Amino acid sequence: MFCGVCRGQPNLADNYLMEKLRKAKHFSIMIDGATDRGTIENEAVYVRFMADEGPVNAFLSIPAVKQGNASGILDAICAAFGEAGIDDWKERLVGFGDGAAVNVGCRNGVAAQLLRDIPYLISIHCVAHRLELGVTKAINPLGSEVKKAVNQKLSNQ
């Protein structure tokens, strides 16, 4: 389940980093979804934790999401930690971040479901996703051609 797609990112497939994560008292996760060319939804899972040498940000996994709803994404996160051999991840999780509505929804989003089990969890709406929402709202009144041009420019197509 581990991959080296994220070049330049510390990868927890590295046994040294994996041992550090297993020893970490607490950690946070950041997730971000993507759909590949085969229209299979995946969820990238990153972790942040404190090691002896300081904070570590590392790529954990990119599991497939069987259902594109909050429960399906939460199952994928559980699978990522299960594959890493970290079964007590909910007891050690202190922070969660993303920006998609399915993840930060206050009633049934991933964060809301996690908060039911982890009342002290700090959930953060990703700044990049908030910026995207703001830009989209600002250009919507300008019409579909402007929106299409901005999207093409941003995606380098």
Q: How far apart are CA 8 and CA 147, in angstroms?
A: 32
Please tell me the predicted confidence (pLDDT) of residue 1. Answer: 36
Per-residue pLDDT of the chain (157 residues; tens, 9 = 90+): 334 444 445 566 678 888 889 899 999 999 888 777 777 788 889 999 998 889 999 989 889 899 888 899 999 999 999 988 899 999 999 998 876 766 766 678 888 899 999 999 888 877 777 787 788 888 888 878 887 887 787 776 5
Alpha-carbon torsion (86, 91, 97, 99), positive or negative = positive
Q: Which distant-in-sequence residues (6+ apart) come within 8 Å of 76 by Cβ?
A: 42, 43, 45, 63, 64, 65, 66
Q: How open is the CA angle 91-116-111, to the nearest 5 degrees? A: 85
Please tell me the predicted confidence (pLDDT) of residue 12. Answer: 60
Q: How far apart are CA 71 and CA 39, in angstroms?
A: 19
Q: How far apart are CA 154 and CA 131, in angstroms?
A: 13
Relative to beta strand 54-61, strand 41-51 is antiparallel
Domains in the chain: ranges and CATH: 15-125 (3.30.420), 126-157 (no CATH)
Please tell me the predicted confidence (pLDDT) of residue 76. Answer: 93
Q: Residue 103 — left, alpha, or beta (φ > 0 → left; ψ -120 to 50 → alpha)?
A: alpha
